[in-house]
Amino acid sequence: MRVLLVRPPSVLGRMSRQNLQHPTNLVGLASEASARGHEAGLLDLEVTPGGEDAFRPALDRFRPDVLGVSVVTPHVPGAARLLEAAKSWSRDLFTVAGGPHATALPADLLDEIPALDAVCVGEGDRTLPELLDARADGAGLGAVPGLHLRDGGFTGHRDVVDDLDTLAPLDRTLLDWPAYAALAGRKGVASPGVIRRGIRAAQVHLSRGCYARCVFCSTNAVWGERARPGIRRRSVGCVLAEIDELAGRWGINHLNFEDDIFPPTLRYLEELCEALIPRKLTWSCNARVDGLRREHFELMAASGCLKIDFGVESGSERILELNQKLVTRERVVHVFAEAKRVGILRTAYLMLGSHVDETPEEVELTRRLAHEIRPDYLTFTVGCPYPGTQLWDDCKQRGYLDYLPSGRPDWKRYGYYPGLPPWRFTHFSAQQMLDTQRRFLRGFYLSPRFVLRMLGRVRSLEQLQALVVAGLDVTHFLSSGPVGRLRRRVGG
């Protein structure tokens, strides 16, 4: 069978190049399908010139039997257009969607997109190849767990992949490397804030799963209760084999470790860092503020770590407790100081509305915390009630969601930078959230302190050019007006 996997175009506009990543989820699925003898292709419309206009020609070239579309919440409208176009290309084409939104609302997605034949929930590593096998054999899909079928209901839950080392190696020949380089420029892919001449970056995943239950995060909706109680991790040897291929075959010199929990364990971190030291690569990662100590930051810096993106969210102890973050303000201050001491750049991920009942006074505590820890970069996002999260349930139950005249949410605006949010919180209207977000970000990124600090790091014309581009993108976002308004309807 021939399967084409597609990522819809980004809805972030100019900010998309500041957040660009390879679709390693689709690369992994395609690699699994190929390992089972099927022919897999990948189309990333975030980087393909022409965007959606390139879709029909891609169908003509590849002529798939099965089309798979990755659906995060803001991609729902774009995915619907692609699937409708696919069915007009061939009514015999079997269509399937997967991803966080599809997993959270499978029946709703089938109802919303008539051109969709099936939804894959949770991990698709085993489900997609089995679906392709069944289609090739002319068999029904009722015996393939993990699917919601338009004509057959739910086929039952599928257990997660316990041994991640058994997954097929990622076939990165499927990626259009020049297209990513053209869009990402001198900052590289998956490495915002790391800007240097000749950077060539890629993501690497060490593990799956998370032990926390943050009320705003959709991770547990994706991995599901069947993934508990622990975090599944690849062996360090398996990870190093991937890293060596990235460096030797693709010329990668910077890695970004993309995990819900980094490191999976402290012993794992020590083994990984010791192995990275002789490889002389640089790297960055996402991390929680719990667990890491001074000696770990020293080892990370020695092994090439340039930047850590810390999930902080709030400066209010009450909000940190309510959103089940499992960290304290005191710990945040300590960890930021330790990382700075060894010269690692620090990003603070901050949020307005990580809990629906956050007050303006608690947002002010977040601003004060940011002033105290003085991160090198920060994000200040509006908490988004993604389906599958506790935040979604709270907003829906309280009537805080806006709806289109069709009675559905305006999914394309469900993101951390949505323009005027199509939802509100207890103490914030949509406009108040937008105003607060932009005031917070302007105060940081347009301050003389930040500008001078960034200029002080410039070591080449290429770095300066990359900083100018990033600055223009951020300035455009901060100065752009809100998107059109929706009518409000209680419930839904």
Return the CATH superfamily for domain 176-479: tm_1862 like domain (3.80.30.20)
pLDDT digits (tens, 9 = 90+) for 144-172: 999 999 988 999 999 889 999 999 999 99
pLDDT digits (tens, 9 = 90+) for 279-292: 999 999 999 888 89
The structural domains of the chain, with segments of one domain joined by +, span 2-154, 176-479
Q: What is the DSSP string of 162-181?
A: S-GGGSPPP-GGGS-HHHHH
Residue given tokens 């060490």 in the structure block: 206
In order along the chain (492 residues), what is the average pLDDT of each group of 10 residues? 96 72 96 98 94 95 98 95 97 96 95 97 96 97 96 91 96 94 75 80 92 82 56 95 97 93 92 98 92 94 96 94 89 96 95 95 96 93 93 96 95 81 96 93 87 77 69 65 34 32
Does the CA dihedral 418-423-424-429 come out positive or negative? positive
pTM of this prediction exceeds 0.95: no
State the pLDDT at residue 220. Answer: 67
Give yes or no on whether 2-154 and 176-479 have one common fold.
Answer: no
CB atoms within 10 A of CB 81: 15
Return the CATH superfamily for domain 2-154: Cobalamin-binding domain (3.40.50.280)
Q: How far is CA 288 from CA 191, 299, 331, 368, in A?
A: 18, 17, 10, 20
CB burial class (10 A; 0-12, 13-18, 19+) of residue 29?
buried
